[in-house]
Amino acid sequence: MSRPEGFVPPPYPYDRLDRLAALGAHHGGGIVDLSIGTPCDPPIPAVLDALAHSGSERGYPASIGSLALREAMSMWIHRRFGIDVGPLQIAACVGTKEFVGTTPQYLKLRTPDRDTVLFPAISYPTYEMGAVLAGCRPVPVPARLDGGIDFDAIAPSDAERALMLWVNSPSNPTGALTDLDAAAAWGRAHDVPVFSDECYAEFTWHGRPRTILESGLDGVVAVHSLSKRSNLAGVRVGFYAGDEALVNYLKEIRKHVGMMVPGPAQAAGLAALADDAHVLVQRNLYLERLERVSHILSSWSGLNISLPAGGFYLWFDALDGWAFAQRLAADGGALVSPGDFYGAGGAHNVRVAVVQPKDRIERVAQRLGVL
């Protein structure tokens, strides 16, 4: 008896790079991977000490995060953005990718008469996948000329059905900044919760770091991660903060599915949030790498590759993203991401993550014959 075919996951985007990696395998020293935004720099010693000696590995950790961790998150928000958000309106998540990927299904249970997830048309693929996994309509929202999301382009019919709106500033992959005050105002005007992914806020190059919470907490949730700011992608510590009703709802539903940041990871997160000096060091490293890689690729390709407004990615029009990535893998032994990973509108583009140390970046420069 035949059965209707169920959901078949699409290929994971980065798995599609295997053939390009093979093209560059002949280079001495191997492939230099600039495709995935995996930090290469070490965490500070205090974080490693907390991971090893917290004594918290035997018991179940608090799903919402320990009070000490949530207080550290609250104090960081105050130091970084100058606003007060109490620990009761903050909760931990297991990194932020799982939060992005699962939140639509939880909100669909809360608001079953809405079925649409709005997200930037060129963006991190998990916004769309989270909608698909929730059985919702993923509706991409185009960008303005400055790269920020164009709220005027949202059709009234989609706004009426919208379960949530994702914004991402600075953007992955483009580095563009969205007007977060305008995002919050749009959401309140249309009674749509706005979730603001601010994982790259510490690496804002044009102006100061911003959070949607500066517009008030009503109807908005900010999402932050220690993966980028503190080189802790493998430890999986993130948090969400904002509207009391939304945060408390997500706190309670996530308890039932065992979404818990491990105790040692919570201790490490507390140590990381208590130290701002290492983030300044990391900012300088990423800015130096952005400038150097931009020069290398501009000189080699003849393209004018400018620096982003935020984040640690270069995003540029290469006419054909896959052709550029293939040529760079063959000539320079470097792996980058074709722009169609981030939506059909990015097919001409390339994303380059400057997440390799200086000696590896200079290896690419040498292969390409760039001083």
Per the CB < 8 A criterion, the answer to whether 121 and 345 are in contact is yes
pLDDT tens-digit readout, 95-119: 999 999 999 999 999 999 999 999 9
Tell me the CATH number of domain 58-273, given options 3.30.565.10, 3.40.50.1820, 3.40.640.10, 3.40.220.10. Answer: 3.40.640.10
CA 95 – CA 134 distance, rounded (Å): 19
- The overall average pLDDT reported for the chain is 97
The 3-state secondary structure of the chain reads: CCCCCCCCCCCCHHHHHHHHHHHCCCCCCCCEECCCCCCCCCCCHHHHHHHHHCCCCCCCCCCCCCHHHHHHHHHHHHHHHCCCCCHHHEEEECCCHHHHHHHHHHHHHHCCCCCEEEEECCCCCHHHHHHHHCCCEEEEECECCCCCECHHHCCHHHHHHEEEEEEECCCCCCCCCCCHHHHHHHHHHHCCCEEEECCCHHHECCCCCCCHHHHCCCCEEEEEEHHHHCCCCCCCCEEEEECHHHHHHHHHHHHHCCCCCCHHHHHHHHHHHCCCHHHHHHHHHHHHHHHHHHHHHHHHHCCCCCCCCECCEEEEECCCHHHHHHHHHHHHCEECEEHHHHCHHHCCEEEEECCCCHHHHHHHHHHHCCC
For residue 254, the model assigns a pLDDT of 97
For residue 4, the model assigns a pLDDT of 73
What average pLDDT does range 6-13 have in this prediction? 90
pLDDT tens-digit readout, 122-148: 999 999 999 999 999 999 999 999 999
- Residue 268: pLDDT over 60: yes
Per the CB < 8 A criterion, the answer to whether 246 and 193 are in contact is yes
**13-42+278-368 topology per CATH:** Aspartate Aminotransferase, domain 1 (3.90.1150)
Per the CB < 8 A criterion, the answer to whether 225 and 96 are in contact is yes
Domain residue limits, the chain: 13-42+278-368, 58-273
For residue 5, the model assigns a pLDDT of 80
pLDDT tens-digit readout, 52-89: 999 999 999 999 999 999 999 999 999 999 999 999 99
For residue 25, the model assigns a pLDDT of 87
For residue 79, the model assigns a pLDDT of 98
For residue 260, the model assigns a pLDDT of 97
pLDDT tens-digit readout, 193-240: 999 999 999 999 999 999 999 999 999 999 999 999 999 999 999 999
For residue 2, the model assigns a pLDDT of 62
Q: Is the pTM of this model over 0.85?
A: yes
pLDDT tens-digit readout, 296-312: 999 999 999 999 999 99
- Residue 34: pLDDT over 90: yes
